[in-house]
Every structure is written in C-alpha cells, then in structure tokens.
Structure 1
Amino acid sequence: MATRLGLSLPQMRQYSIGRDVPDVARAAEAIGYDSLWVFERALFPEPATQGLYGIEGLPWPDEYRDVADPLVTLALAAAATERAELGSSVLVAPLHVPFQLAKALASLDAASGGRVIAGFGTGWSLDEYAASAVRPFEERGAALDEIIEVCRAVWGPDPVVYEGRLTRIASAVVGPKPARPIPVMLAAGNRRAWRRLVDHADGWLPVGMGAEQVAAQWRQVRELAEQRGRTEPIRTVLRVNTVRLPKAYEGADRRPFQGSVDQIVEDLAEHAAIGLEEILVDLQGNARDARELKDVAAEVFEKARAAGI
C-alpha cells in the first residue's frame, strides 16, 4: 500500500495568502496529495531572545517574519477543496484559549465535511508564550492536557460540562459539532510526551530528522503503548522540512531532505520504509512563489510515486 502524501500550504511572506492558498490547495488535490497542512508561528522577535527551537545561536528563518494564521489558512483551503484532509503540524495549543480553539476546529470540520486533523504541540518560543499563552511556559504540558480534554468535551454530546483550571463549562449546548470525531495528533519527542500521546491522542506527528532516529522513536512509542495497555492503533504522519536546492548537494554533511528533488525523494523512500502511514512534505520555504511551489510539488509527488512511495 502506497504511503499517503501530504503537502504544506503556503503561509510565508513570499505568498499572497488570499490568492495562493486556494490556488495551491486546488492544485495539490488535483496532483493527488491526500492532505494539506499548516504550521503556527505567532511572531518574530527582534532582536531574538533565543535561537530557533530554543537552540542558542541558531537564527530564525527570515520567512518567519510573516506567517499566516493557521486556522484562517485551513479555512481558505477547505473552501477550495473537496477531498484532501486538513491538518495542523502543529498548532501551538497553549497559545490558544481552549474553548475557542475547540469550537473553531469543530466549525471547520463541519464546514469541510469531516476533514480536519487537530495536530497539537507545546511549542518552544518564550516570546510567543509571553505574548499569547494561557499558561506560563513551565506549565505548557498541563495546558495541553486541558486543551485536549476541552476539545473532547466540546466535540462530544450536549450538554457539555467541564471543570478545569482554565475552562469552566457549567452545562451548555455547543455547536456546531464536528462532522465526525476529529483525530487529535501530537508532536512528541520524549518519553513524557509519548505517555501523553499513548494515553490521550489518536496519532503521532514526528519530524524527519533521519530514518534511523525516527524508526527508533517509533519502536519506543509502540513499546510504550503495549506497556500501557493501549489497543487502538496510533496514526502516524511524518513531517519533513525540505531544503530544496537547484542541484544535488555533494557534501558529506548533507542533512536529511536537503538537496535536489531527486535527493529529497531518496530520503522520502528511506523514511517511508519505516512503515509510517503518511509523510507531510513542506516545500514552501524555498519556493519563490506559488507557481514554483506547485511545480515542485508535482515533481516530488510524481517521482515519489514512481519510486514506489
């Protein structure tokens, strides 16, 4: 069975959001992509108070100066498509008021005919937390736990009743309801986060940092699921952040998904062999405009399928 393929939607500063998101979404669906994805970057601190991903000295990409809101982007894509699933990889959940996030996702799922995937993470930017978070950075795990609980409650049957630290719903009718149960998927890279994934989520959103490392993490997740008595399958969508170059990268220091389209497809094949269900390919960063993004997306898809992915 072929690996499902997803594509990131154009959210960065080189794109015209109102024009390019529907255009790329329609093209991706016509090419054959199974899903369309967004990410969240709330702001660009200047000067930076910490490096990218919290790594000292690692600069923030200039494209992050202007990143469109993920839910607005998904709404534009939903209106332009009929089949492709609509996912987030990821929403930084603690930056959102739980009830409002749950209701927005339910409305989007109802409007799209049941195509939403709620991908959540806790994020890493202290500046984003200072600007928008509902709980301090140190309490991000607890905030995510409550957000998942509120989503499940709001998406479930009426009357909705919930009592938490951030949210209190005494007894209320909350609609619209999702067209179907919205899958909750989590970005999780350590044992504590894997426990949350195994106990409370429907799926896992790893990042492609090398096939051996992803395969090792996937083994650990499955072992933990068995230890904790989970019987439901864990859905998997691997995110790959590409650095596409006009020709092959010949250096010994080449990172996964860095180089020509052919090299990117080779890396896709290596990661697909792990056995994950779906791979989300992010090509938007190196494309100059929507036309180039569509052309490269078509080339990657065709070569991936030709390679048996």
Structure 2
Amino acid sequence: MRIGLSTPVVVQVPGVSSEWERTATADDVAQIAAAADACGLEYLTCSEHVAIPSGEADSRGAVYWDPLATLGFLAARTRRIRLATAVLVLAYHHPMEIAKRYGTLDRISGGRLTLGVGIGSLNAEFTLLGAQWDRRADRADDAIRALRASLSSETPQYHGPFYSYDGMTVLPHAMQQHVPIWVGGRSAGSLRRAVRFADGWMPFGLKGDQIRRMLADVDVPQGFEVVLSTSGALDPGCGPGATDEILRELCDSGATAITCSIAATSAAHYCDQVVALAAIADAGRGGS
C-alpha cells in the first residue's frame, strides 16, 4: 500500500476537513508534512482554485492555498516525500509557464514533483480568469503534450493545435528527466487522456465498481498509476480494522497509490494519526 496525504488545512472541504484546521497555521502544516516524510508516506497534495463562487463555498469549500507557494514551502521542510498538485487546472496557465514555475519547484525540491493536472470544472472561475471553457478537453490534451516536451528541456520545442513555440530558453527547468504527470477527472475521457498522454489517473467521486469497469475498458500501460482517494476521513488511531479494510477495498478497485484524508482534533493529533496510518500501511504491505 503506497500512501499519500490529502494535505490538511491547505484544502478544507466541508464534511472532510476537521474543525481545528480553520485556525491552523503554516507551521502546523509543516509539522504534519515532516511527520509524513519521516514515516515514509509517498506524497503530499495541494489543489488549485483561484476563487470559488460564494454561492458554492458551502459545498465545495472556500479554502484553497496556492499550490506553488504551498509546495515550495513544504519542499523546504521535508527531505524525501513527493509533492503533488491535485490538480493544477491546465486552462489557467500556458504550458511554458507551468514548465518554468513547477520545473523550478522540482529543482528546489531535489526532483520530487508530481504534476497532477485536470481540465477544470468551474465555469465561473474560467470566466473570472479569462480562460477558454470551450474545447477545454482538446486544449488540455495539447497542453499535456506540450508539458511532456517542455518540463525537462532547456530549449523546449512544441507545435500543436493550441500551443506552438520554439527558439526559447528555459532555465531552470525540472531536475527529473521525466516528471510524472497524473490526470484528474471522473469521466472515461479523463482516463483515456491519462492513458494516452500521462503516467497516471486520479479519479474522484466514483465508486469502486465504476472504477473497475472503466479500467477494464482500456489497455493500461505497464507502470501506469491509478491514484484513488478515500471518500471520507480515516481514523487510524482507533485501530487498524476499519482503516485497513478501506485501503484494501481501494486496492481491489485498482489503486496503485491511495490519497488519504485523516480525522484529527489538532495538528499534534494529526501527526499521531499519520504514524498510525503508516504502521497500518506497512502491515498491509507485509501481508500482501
């Protein structure tokens, strides 16, 4: 069981986040990140929303820390754990902008970036930012191809239907020769996009049988990641039984890695929960 964290505080979704997160600080987040790093968890996540329509804040949540600033901060407070955007909205950025900014993050973190990307789902936010809503799936395909050509190159070149460039120098760029790209989404189209252009798929809002059926309909490449998330907050400190069962169900649905939300009453309690979760995951690996 390869386990990552849906980093608390930096994204607060109603029904999943805990009360203590409302007043938590950056130091609390850094303490949790360091605990996850020390326990051997795989990655930390941070999502992207610039602004949420006020009428949707009660359902979507309103707290979304900027992923570049957040993961850059956590890069300096950790040593091994990977840093994953989950997800970056492709339409809000030119691919070269992502290559430069997140390539720099990869460099300062010592090659720990995982770039999770998606086509976006919030029309009002597109309008606010002047981003193109129409044909956003086609634009996303082109952007991912452009990113693959650009993330690790000093002189990237790409010519596609929406993005085209050459004759430019980008320094610094990503340290990794192949930055993992995961595609988020809940449609069959997002899975096809991930299989065709990327290294993994991060579905959300789907049940296990839906995920299994969708995976059965595609030819999944060797080494392809299926990154599933817990539907609610785990409480590993109450004992391994329920947590282990949830993790195993996700593995049975095809997960190669699992992004976990954790229930806690404080940052210190969250760190204790991380230790308990890591122990359950280690026991699960030993028994598999």
TM-score, normalised by the number of residues in structure 2: 0.83
2:17 — aligned with what?
none
Structure 2: distance between partners of 1:33 and 1:119:
18
Is residue 146–residue 158 contact of structure 2 (8 Å, CA) maintained in 1? yes
Cα distance change, pair 189–69 in 1 and its aligned pair in 2 (3 A): same
Quick one: structure 1 residues 60 and 100, their matched pair in 2 at CA, closer, same or farther if it must change by over 3 Å?
same
Q: Which runs of 5+ in 1 are unaligned?
A: 53-58, 226-230, 249-259
The aligned amino acid for 1:169 is Y
CA distance in 2, matches of 1:117, 1:4: 15
**2:26 match:** 18
For the structure 1 residues 245 and 281, does the alpha-carbon distance in structure 2 shift closer, same or farther, using more than 3 Å as the test?
closer
1:69 maps to amino acid = D
Deviation of the 1:143 alpha carbon: 2.4
Does 1:142 find its partner at 2:138?
yes
- State how far apart, in whole Å, the 2-side matches of 1:68 and 1:83 are: 22
- Gap change, CA 1:167 and 1:14, over 3 Å in 2: same
**What one-letter code is carried by the residue in structure 2 that aligns with 1:96?**
H
Question: Which of 39, 43, 61 matches 1:31?
Answer: 39
- 1:106 matched to 2:83? The reply is no
Q: Percent identity?
A: 28
- Which residue of the partner structure matches residue 229 of structure 2? 239
After superposition, the C-alpha distances for 1:29-73 in whole angstroms (9 at most, x for unaligned) are: 11221211122233231223xxx8xxxxxx515xx2222111211
| Code of the aligned partner of 1:22 | A
2:256 corresponds to 1:300: no
Does residue 87 (structure 1) correspond to residue 64 (structure 2)? The answer is no
TM superposition shift of 1:84:
1.0
Structural mapping, 1:1-309, within 5 Å: 3-10=1-8, 11-12=10-11, 14=22, 16-48=24-56, 59-61=58-60, 64-132=61-129, 134-136=131-133, 138-164=134-160, 167-180=163-176, 181-207=178-204, 209-222=206-219, 225=220, 232-244=222-234, 262-283=241-262, 286-307=263-284, 308=287
TM-score (norm 1): 0.78
Superposed displacement of residue 208, structure 1: 6.9
Distance 1:205 1:45 in 2: 24
Residue 233 of structure 1 aligns with an amino acid whose one-letter code is: G
Deviation at 1:6, TM superposition (A): 0.7
SS at match of 1:177: coil
- Matched-pair contact (CA < 8 Å) for 1:119–1:187: yes
Give 1:281 shift. 0.6
Structure 1 residues 96 and 261, CA gap change in structure 2 (3 angstroms): farther
Superposed CA RMSD in Å reads 2.8
CA displacement at 1:168 relative to structure 2: 4.4
Deviation at 1:129, TM superposition (A): 1.3
Aligned residues: 275
Q: 1:130 to 1:287 in 2, by over 3 A?
A: farther
Code of the aligned partner of 1:88: T
CA contact (8 A) 2:237 2:272 kept: no
Q: Secondary structure at the match of 1:185?
A: strand
